[in-house]
Amino acid sequence: MIARWLKAEGQLVAQGDPLFELETDKAVAEVESPVNGTLLRIIIPEGSVRVEQIVAWVGEPGEPMDETSTAPVSGKIEEGTESTSKLPASHPSARVARLPTPAARRRARELGIVLTKITGTGPEGRITEGDVEKLHQMQIGEASTRTSPKQFRRGVLIRKLTASWQSIPHIHIARHMDAGGLISARPVAKSRFSPDVSVTDLILFVLSRVLPKFPPLMTVWKGEELIIQTSLNLALVVDTAAGVVAPVIHNICDLDIGQICSSRQELVDAARLHRLRVEQMEDGSFTLTNLGMHDVDYFAPIINSPQSAILAVGRISEEPVVVGGKVVAGWRMWANLALDHRVADGMLAARFLSELQASFDGLSQVLSQSSHPEKIQS
């Protein structure tokens, strides 16, 4: 869908100039002009577009405009139609085209054809009279529907999660964790690395140290082949006004807790502003989803395909626990690992959760002994 235009009608554009921002289910990308000329008319100011739909006309100043060249698109773009004005493959939908030839406009008026239905085959994608005749013979007339940005993204998410749930044999292994180590480690991290360090950052840091010990949890599917990722790229589920997304902190094992905090803040801000870049959504090895800030204790997540595992954590709460035969106050948190049963079994999941607990317990000491961030940056 089109998020916003970067050029206005009447402006000169050169091939390669950014014209508008195109938002997909994963990211926002700038779409470049495939032709030289003047941006004569913006047909779709914003909203959903179909693959190869014409969204604007570029031509020479003074070229006549008529209703057939400015009407919104309706109909189906015929597969296999070639055009020299197609956008690069990185931009999956929408295109900008030159105005049709005078003969094409005249024939379109005679046949009642909307020119923006057509993918031109002339120079620089210009629509010719032959293109109009071809469309008329095919009798394209299906009405397209428009959806809101939120409906668009939610629909993509629903399809992806449904496919994941139906195709992946999930198993869920949960543990009621002692979160006292996280509580005591947070002030250490805030004083030594960054005052903005959150519980999520601490869990991400621990995962970056624990997951490399469990290669099956870092595998992704590529078709029928299972690939073990050589570097750990941790995805984090982020809530936005239009639904959840899972941007990725790449090579997280190379980062200290302060750098993880900064990376997490950058991704969350970009996600909520719908400004995530494509590369910030790619190559995730494992996903963390945290609903603790919403006072949720326990939930069972769906694996973020093509990954093989996801960890869900709930809130940290102070509860009565038995220690040495006495009831004392303690910090507890549910952690639930969803795992692709084709990749590993419950025993590996149990060992992973035990290692996670041990890392929580020793986190304060690890952070106290870590190099100061100023030394890391120098």
Q: For residues 69-95, give the mean pLDDT.
A: 40
Q: What is the mean pLDDT of residues 151-167?
A: 70
Structure tokens at 251: 């090579």
pTM above 0.75, yes or no: no
Nearest in space to 96 (alpha carbons), one of 157, 54, 126, 41: 54
Residues in CB range of 77: below 8 A, 6 or more apart? 50, 51, 52, 53, 117, 119
pLDDT tier at 146, thresholds 50, 70, 90: very low
pLDDT at 185 over 70: yes
> Averaged over 164-191, what is the pLDDT?
94
Beta-strand (E) ranges in 46-168? 54-59, 95-98
Cα 169 to chain centroid, rounded: 24
pLDDT band at 155 (very low <50, low <70, confident <90, very high): low
Q: Most confidently modeled of 169-178, 228-237, 238-247, 318-327?
A: 169-178
For 272-330, what is each residue's pLDDT tens digit? Answer: 888 888 889 889 999 999 999 999 999 999 999 899 999 999 999 999 999 889 999 99
Res. 144: pLDDT tops 80: no
User: Residues 117-128, buried b or exposed e (16+ Cβ, 10 A)?
Assistant: bbbbbbebbbbb
- Which is higher by pLDDT, 56 or 87? 56
Cβ neighbour number for residue 129 with a 10 Å cutoff: 17
Query: Looking at residues 71-95, what average pLDDT do you find?
Result: 39
All structural domains of the chain:
2-146 (2.40.50.100), 150-377 (3.30.559.10)
Mean pLDDT of 359-370: 92
Per-residue model confidence (pLDDT) at position 192: 93
Looking at per-residue confidence, does 208 or 120 come out higher? 208
Range from 30-34, 101-105, 108-112, 170-174 carrying the lowest mean pLDDT = 108-112
Amino acid in the structure at residue 333: M
Q: Say what the pLDDT of residue 14 is.
A: 85
- Mean pLDDT for 250-274 is 93
**What average pLDDT does the segment 142-161 reach?**
55
- By the 8 A CB rule, do 220 and 229 touch? yes
Distance of alpha carbon 256 from alpha carbon 371, whole angstroms: 9
Residue % of the chain over a pLDDT of 70: 78
Whole-number average pLDDT of the chain: 81
Residue 96 pLDDT greater than 70, yes or no: no
The neighbour count for residue 116, using CB atoms within 10 Å, is 23
pLDDT reading at 82 higher than 80: no
* % of the chain at pLDDT higher than 90: 44
